[in-house]
Chain A
Amino acid sequence: MPDRPIAPSRPAEPFLTLADIRKTYPGVVALSRFSMTVAPGEVIGLVGENGAGKSTLMKVLGGIVAPDSGTITIDGVPHEALDVAESIGAGIAFVHQELNLFDNLDVAANVFIGREPRKAGWLNLVDTDKMRAMVAPLLERIGANFRPDTPLSSLSLAQRQMVEIAKALSMKARLVILDEPTSSLPIAETEKLLDIIAGLRADGISVIFISHRLHEIERAADRVVALRDGALAGTLAREEITHDAMVKLMIGRDLKAQVRASSVRAGKVILRARGVQTNAHPGKPVDLDMHRGEILGLAGLVGAGRTELACTFFGVDPMLAGVLEFDGTPLALGSAADAVARGIFLVPEDRKSTGLLLDMSIAENVSLPDLRSYSRRMIVSRQRETAAAARQQAELDIRAARLSVAAKTLSGGNQQKVVLAKWLSMKPRVMIFDEPTRGIDVGAKAEIYRLMRRLADAGVAVLMISSDMEEVIGVSDRIAVMHEGAITGVLAPEEFSEENILLLAVGRNLTARAIA
């Protein structure tokens, strides 16, 4: 990486100004009183924890979501909200983590998809030569090592990102928003991308660079804007940008460690993982012990591989390598049915697609994993089924008119309780909760925490995946933190702090100061 060029002198007028943007979803304030400016040729690093409001902000800029209040000023023209066409017309372009490209076309066709230059004549054929001639200088400008007629399918992920950037340039983009562009890139290709960002900046194109990799922001950004809980947590000028300063803004000023004593001494190990590798992160072996009577928090950033690990423990995802031991004996899981038979249960992250059968009734959902025990000679006894569901309904306080109503009619919290009910009506030994309180109101959250504690007190090993810092620190007895498929550390209660978790989550070591 060459030294950063001297920042070009900028006109006083910002390209884009956001003022007092507010956006709420039912029960959630996604953005409140958020303001920022983007000057031409400025590289802004946008940081914030999962759920801080970055996605909503991007949707506002992309014209997908209209803010409830506030103004968006572009080139001095104020807007209450943008629509998609206005956003594109203003020169705002996105490069996503998941790229919107066509594998079956070549580079030039991807850049000009939907805007192909045409030949004269009544057939109006696509002018492939002209298209390629137009793309060639764009590729040269960003230093691409492939040609306009290279098939996209032969390009690496980093090269595909360059195609997206070329596409943005072809649309005369004035602001390119890179959403986690480096999260899946190897180091050499990341360097290349940082060079391209510097090139855009030199051409007077603004860049918003969203990343969890703080050292890249440290190197690339002219200014850092930090979001926390939907509000502006602060900005850092070029000379103030340091790793620690960003972390401090992301998690707030109170860095005092919340020490909490483990309520119960953890019992013996019930599930032991040694060298477990998942599909998502092959080559990153994971060692983890889950004890009876313990709530083990599993923290990390989105994409760190936590869900994939849980799915491997539950038998729905294959284990590429490694050994699982259950109660001291080797455990081979061919399917979720094998895990269920041993009392290893998963409350998945996505209630609607994997947790519940939304069209089926509450009673049918509760009885499904254990249907045989409600049956005699293969015939289901609806009476026994309903009785069991009624017991769980009373136990968990599931608010529903009848047990025969479809699960989709319930609120998020009550749906989650139905997912819990189906496992609690059996004999759990290991319970894995993946983001158990996402999209659930505060009251139901507290009930779910109490229930997890009750399970642990009854000798169940509980693994809780959560991106909510407060939740991880407040509920766990130990916290394991993952970064890019590997476990970077396991924290004891006296080490619990948002800062420590975040440091491990971005792949850094704990500093002596942080352990305190």
Chain B
Amino acid sequence: MNKKDLGLLLLILAVGAVVAVLNPRFLLPINISNTSNLVGLFGLSALGQAFVIITGGIELSVGSMMALIGVLFVDFVATEGLPWPVAVVLMLALGVLIGLAHGYLITKVKLQPFVVTLCGLLIYRGIARFYTHDATAGFGFNQNFPVLQGITTGKLWGIPASVIALAIVGTIMWIVLHRSTFGRYLYAVGKNEEAARYSGIKTDRVIVWAYVICQILNTISALYFAMYTRSIAPASHGNFYELYAIAAAVLGGFSLLGGEGSLVGVILGVVLLQELQNLVNLLGIPSSLNFAVMGGVILIGVTLDQQWGRFREKRNGARAARDATVGRPAAESAQ
């Protein structure tokens, strides 16, 4: 755990202490259980976003993908009667396919990640709504899938299944990002794609994998959300979830310029965001201000990231800035 993560943890504890003093219900087991369930659900998606942000990219389509996967999964299982494990495999395959498509457009067609995934955001939302003719897809009251519900919405020793899933997936992804060769390549590509390429790394392949991993983790998150809500309104389900994930990553010390951040940080970021949501509820702040709180937090996160980047630029290149004066001799190394 680095200094940034430690600072974030202290902030979470401090905010928690203040909320607990103002409203003791914050510490009730039911509140902690509900909040941690949400941490698990959002955390799975945020982990995926982190892999993309490390490369200096962004994945805006994940909220719409949650709606699309949600309606497809519920429809396949509840209406079409497909065995749920088959439906899960199909959904994961869809995630991989979308990740490959985004990665291909970004690395080979050289489109900007923001543009590609923004189009994805619009397209997948549209398909999800068209698929159900804007109707809500849901499970019937008498439809039960004990195993599926057990591993998605059940509890083990009082711990929500989503938290356990986040712990397992988080541990695996932590090893991938912080211990594996692929993780090292991700950081290298995010920090300096050119230098990584000149070191013989297949940078395009690394970037494509980041988008595939993002979509796989988001698919898992989408399945958990679908089982949690049990009904999916395709026009609204998962709206803004991509921004929750990005906000969590930025709060967790990720630079949107790429190459910086840790998985512990992004999970702490999710915890802080859910704590803030909980704070809005518990302190009697109008829930209509929910997004405003979220927006404020993202703004602060991005501002800090920007200031940090500018500070580093200043330190590195006072001379470069001086030479960049328009119309004067071009910047060249001192001769």
Q: Which of B182, B185, B202, B335 contacts A51 (CB 8 A)?
A: B335
| A336:B199 contact, CB within 8 angstroms | yes
Question: Can you spell out 19 A-B residue pairs with CB atoms less than 8 angstroms apart?
Answer: A56-B334, A59-B329, A84-B325, A84-B328, A314-B198, A316-B198, A336-B199, A337-B200, A340-B199, A341-B200, A354-B195, A358-B192, A359-B192, A359-B259, A360-B187, A368-B188, A368-B199, A372-B181, A439-B333
User: Given known contacts A336-B200, A368-B201, what 16 new A-B pairs fall within 8 Å (CB)?
Assistant: A53-B335, A56-B334, A56-B335, A62-B328, A63-B328, A64-B322, A97-B330, A98-B330, A100-B326, A336-B199, A353-B194, A354-B195, A357-B188, A371-B184, A371-B185, A380-B181
Q: Hey, which chain A residues are within 8 Å of B80, CB to CB?
A: none
CA distance A237 to B314 in the complex (A): 46
Interface membership of B196, Cβ < 8 A: yes
Q: Hey, which chain A residues are within 8 Å of B115, CB to CB?
A: none
| B184:A52 contact, CB within 8 angstroms | no
* Given contact pairs A359-B259, A368-B188, A64 touches B329 in the complex (Cβ within 8 A): yes
Chain A, 84-143, CB within 8 A of any chain B CB: 84, 87-88, 94, 96-98, 100
Interface membership of B155, Cβ < 8 A: no
Q: Which of A63, A64, A100, A378 contacts B182 (CB 8 A)?
A: A378
Interface membership of B197, Cβ < 8 A: yes
Interface membership of A170, Cβ < 8 A: no
Interface membership of B134, Cβ < 8 A: no
| A336:B323 contact, CB within 8 angstroms | no
Task: Type the 1/0 row for A332-372, where 1 means its CB is closer than 8 Å to any CB of B.
Answer: 00011101110000101000011111111000100011011
CA distance A53 to B332 in the complex (A): 11
Interface of A is mostly: mixed
Interface membership of A438, Cβ < 8 A: yes
Interface membership of A58, Cβ < 8 A: yes
Q: Hey, which chain A residues are within 8 Å of B333, CB to CB?
A: 438-439
CA distance A316 to B198 in the complex (A): 7
| A179:B329 contact, CB within 8 angstroms | yes
| B198:A379 contact, CB within 8 angstroms | no
| A28:B335 contact, CB within 8 angstroms | yes
Q: Hey, which chain B residues are within 8 Å of A409, CB to CB?
A: none
Q: Hey, which chain A residues are within 8 Å of B181, CB to CB?
A: 371-372, 375, 378-380
Q: Which of A94, A354, A371, A380 contacts B198 (CB 8 A)?
A: A354
Nearest 8 pairs between A and B by C-beta?
Answer: A340-B200, A25-B334, A62-B328, A58-B329, A354-B198, A369-B199, A337-B200, A369-B200
| A368:B332 contact, CB within 8 angstroms | no
Chain A, 370-396, CB within 8 A of any chain B CB: 371-372, 375, 378-380
Q: Hey, which chain A residues are within 8 Å of B322, CB to CB?
A: 64
Chain B contacts to A: CB under 8 angstroms = 175, 179-182, 184-185, 187-188, 191-192, 194-202, 259, 322-323, 325-330, 332-335
Chain A CB count within 10 A is highest, among B188, B191, B322, B330, for B330
Q: Hey, which chain B residues are within 8 Å of A429, CB to CB?
A: none
Q: Hey, which chain B residues are within 8 Å of A179, CB to CB?
A: 329
CA distance A84 to B185 in the complex (A): 44
* Closest Cβ–Cβ distance, residue B330 to chain A (whole Å): 6
Whose C-beta in chain B lies nearest to the C-beta of A358? B192
Q: Hey, which chain B residues are within 8 Å of A316, CB to CB?
A: 197-198
Q: Which of B175, B197, B329 contacts A62 (CB 8 A)?
A: B329
Q: Which of B180, B259, B332 contacts A55 (CB 8 A)?
A: B332
| B195:A94 contact, CB within 8 angstroms | no
Interface membership of A30, Cβ < 8 A: yes
Interface membership of A478, Cβ < 8 A: no
CA distance A454 to B323 in the complex (A): 40
Q: Hey, which chain A residues are within 8 Å of B259, CB to CB?
A: 359
| A335:B202 contact, CB within 8 angstroms | yes
Q: Hey, which chain A residues are within 8 Å of B188, CB to CB?
A: 357, 360, 368
Interface membership of A174, Cβ < 8 A: no
Interface membership of A228, Cβ < 8 A: no
* Closest Cβ–Cβ distance, residue A348 to chain B (whole Å): 6
| B335:A364 contact, CB within 8 angstroms | no
Whose C-beta in chain B lies nearest to the C-beta of A167? B327
| A378:B184 contact, CB within 8 angstroms | no
| A355:B329 contact, CB within 8 angstroms | no
Chain A, 222-276, CB within 8 A of any chain B CB: none
- A interface bracket (residues with beta carbon within 8 Å of B): 35 or more
Interface membership of A22, Cβ < 8 A: no
CA distance A53 to B329 in the complex (A): 13
CA distance A100 to B328 in the complex (A): 9
CA distance A50 to B332 in the complex (A): 12
Interface membership of A483, Cβ < 8 A: no
| B201:A94 contact, CB within 8 angstroms | no
CA distance A371 to B259 in the complex (A): 18
Q: Hey, which chain B residues are within 8 Å of A360, CB to CB?
A: 187-188, 191
Q: Hey, which chain B residues are within 8 Å of A94, CB to CB?
A: 327-329
* Closest Cβ–Cβ distance, residue A258 to chain B (whole Å): 24
* Closest Cβ–Cβ distance, residue B191 to chain A (whole Å): 5
Task: Type the 1/0 row for A146-186, where 1 means its CB is closer than 8 Å to any CB of B.
Answer: 00000000000000000000000000000000010000000
CA distance A335 to B330 in the complex (A): 31
Q: Hey, which chain B residues are within 8 Å of A358, CB to CB?
A: 191-192
Interface membership of A417, Cβ < 8 A: no
* Closest Cβ–Cβ distance, residue B81 to chain A (whole Å): 40
Interface membership of A306, Cβ < 8 A: no
| A359:B198 contact, CB within 8 angstroms | no
Whose C-beta in chain B lies nearest to the C-beta of A97? B330
* Closest Cβ–Cβ distance, residue B206 to chain A (whole Å): 11
* Closest Cβ–Cβ distance, residue A27 to chain B (whole Å): 9
Task: Type the 1/0 row for A320-338, where 1 means its CB is closer than 8 Å to any CB of B.
Answer: 0000000000000001110
Q: Hey, which chain B residues are within 8 Å of A201, CB to CB?
A: none
Q: Which of B175, B198, B327, B334 contacts A346 (CB 8 A)?
A: B198
* Given contact pairs A339-B200, A341-B200, A357 touches B192 in the complex (Cβ within 8 A): yes
Q: Hey, which chain B residues are within 8 Å of A59, CB to CB?
A: 323, 328-329
Interface membership of A422, Cβ < 8 A: yes
* Closest Cβ–Cβ distance, residue B98 to chain A (whole Å): 25
Q: Which of A28, A341, A353 contacts B195 (CB 8 A)?
A: A353
CA distance A59 to B334 in the complex (A): 10
Whose C-beta in chain B lies nearest to the C-beta of A93? B327
CA distance A316 to B185 in the complex (A): 17
Whose C-beta in chain A lies nearest to the C-beta of B260? A359
Q: Hey, which chain A residues are within 8 Å of B323, CB to CB?
A: 59, 64
CA distance A64 to B200 in the complex (A): 38
Whose C-beta in chain B lies nearest to the C-beta of A382? B179
Whose C-beta in chain B lies nearest to the C-beta of A164? B327
CA distance A369 to B184 in the complex (A): 11
Q: Hey, which chain A residues are within 8 Å of B328, CB to CB?
A: 59, 62-64, 84, 87, 94
Task: Type the 1/0 row for A48-87, where 1 means its CB is closer than 8 Å to any CB of B.
Answer: 0011111110110011100000000000000000001001
